């Protein structure tokens, strides 16, 4: 099998394609011949050496794949050889052959492409969990989505549209027209004074839900922008990543700048702060399965549709990581095994 390895911490060029024997599924496991694998910001953080949950380097990362089951182990009943599936491994997804527990493989809808399937698991699960579990998203809420043109951001826009929300989204100006076409009512310049703009747009009524993967000062501003009973959901700390290589001074500085909130203050303000790390929920299979089935139903109803920006071959994995670092992506970026790349 072909895999993309992080050989050591560093810039995208540390990614290497290596060959290894095909894995064999054990009891309750299935083997997927992968057609596409999703890239997430956590993968970039792992590569630069700033993701504490990543396996010890060198390693293979990747949380999501799509493909066809070609072999099953003893006791597998939920899927069968020949089924088109998307899988949700905890690391190891940058590969053309993957073994996972049968509970981590979900049948794809008939109309779904392999690219769409590989683009769905992480970003849609994250958005769904933040908005419908932590965020208790009510109809016609005012929602702010940071990094709105990214994978999670676009998924969140689609889910917010289902609840008829007023949608605000931060991104670079070059992506604003794209965001409008995707259903974001108020694109905001992420490098400008979006706080003042939001106060004006909302007539200082505040926001009901904020989704924030940036952290640091952004969380402080977000808390102040919340309306009574508003919820701030943190799902990343991209502020610690200052470039394509690790900068421990900047990372430490950003962490030290994080404000601490007292439960007494939140109680008095009638505001909520919560956090989501989907990687830490990958062991909660029953919870994930419920959400996967809900998302598949939404896809089949035409309510959501993953947006794939670009695909790169395994051999071009470094270029894919550069593309994300340079903030060129709109939606998901995928890796495709060399023998399937066009």
Domain ranges of the chain: 2-120+306-340, 123-279
Any alpha helices (H) in 137-247, and if so which ranges?
151-162, 176-182, 194-201, 217-225
pLDDT at position 286: 87
pLDDT at position 306: 97
Q: pLDDT tens, 136-175?
A: 999 999 999 999 999 999 999 999 999 999 999 999 999 9
Distant-in-sequence, close-in-space partners of 116: CB < 8 Å, separation ≥ 6: 299, 305, 306, 308
Structural fold of domain 123-279:
Rossmann fold (3.40.50)
pLDDT at position 239: 64
CATH 3.90.180.10 fits 2-120+306-340, yes or no: yes
pLDDT at position 282: 84
Task: Give the residue among 186, 188, 224, 231 at the shortest CA–CA distance from 208.
Answer: 231
Structure tokens at 47: 């590569």
pLDDT at position 237: 75
* Residues in the chain with pLDDT values less than 70: 239-243, 246-254, 256
Structure tokens at 179: 């965001």
> 3-class SS at 298?
helix
What is the Cα–Cα distance from 16 to 44, expressed in whole angstroms?
A: 14
């Amino acid at each position: 099998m072909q895999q993309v390895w992080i050989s050591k911490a560093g810039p995208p060029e540390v990614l290497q394609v290596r060959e290894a024997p095909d894995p064999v599924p054990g009891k309750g496991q299935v083997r997927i011949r992968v057609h596409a694998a999703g890239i997430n910001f956590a993968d970039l953080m792992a590569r630069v050496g700033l993701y504490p949950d990543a396996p010890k380097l060198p390693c293979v990362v990747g949380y999501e794949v799509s493909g066809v089951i070609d072999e099953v182990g003893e006791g597998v009943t939920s899927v069968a050889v020949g089924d088109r599936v998307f899988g949700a491994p905890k690391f190891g997804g940058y590969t053309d052959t993957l073994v996972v527990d049968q509970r981590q493989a979900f049948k794809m809808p008939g109309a779904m492409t392999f690219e769409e399937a590989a683009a769905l698991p992480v970003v849609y699960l994250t958005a769904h969990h933040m908005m419908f579990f932590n965020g208790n998203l009510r109809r016609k809420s005012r929602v702010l989505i940071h990094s709105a043109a990214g994978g999670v951001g676009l998924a969140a826009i689609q889910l917010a549209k289902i609840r008829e929300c007023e949608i605000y989204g931060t991104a670079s100006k070059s992506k604003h027209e794209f965001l409008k076409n995707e259903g974001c009512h108020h694109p905001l310049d992420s490098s400008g004074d979006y706080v003042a703009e939001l106060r004006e747009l909302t007539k200082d009524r505040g926001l009901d839900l904020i989704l924030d993967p940036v952290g640091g000062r952004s969380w402080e501003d977000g808390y102040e922008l919340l309306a009574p009973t508003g919820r701030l959901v943190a799902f990343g700390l991209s502020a610690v990543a200052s470039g394509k290589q690790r900068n421990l001074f900047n990372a430490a500085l950003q962490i030290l700048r994080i404000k601490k909130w007292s439960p007494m203050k939140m109680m008095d303000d009638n505001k909520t702060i919560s956090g989501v790390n989907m990687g830490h929920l990958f062991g909660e299979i029953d919870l994930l399965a419920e959400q996967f089935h809900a998302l598949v139903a939404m896809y089949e109803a035409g309510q959501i549709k993953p947006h794939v920006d670009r695909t790169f071959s395994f051999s071009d994995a470094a270029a894919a990581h550069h593309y994300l670092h340079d903030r060129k992506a709109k939606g998901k970026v995928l890796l495709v095994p060399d023998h399937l790349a066009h």
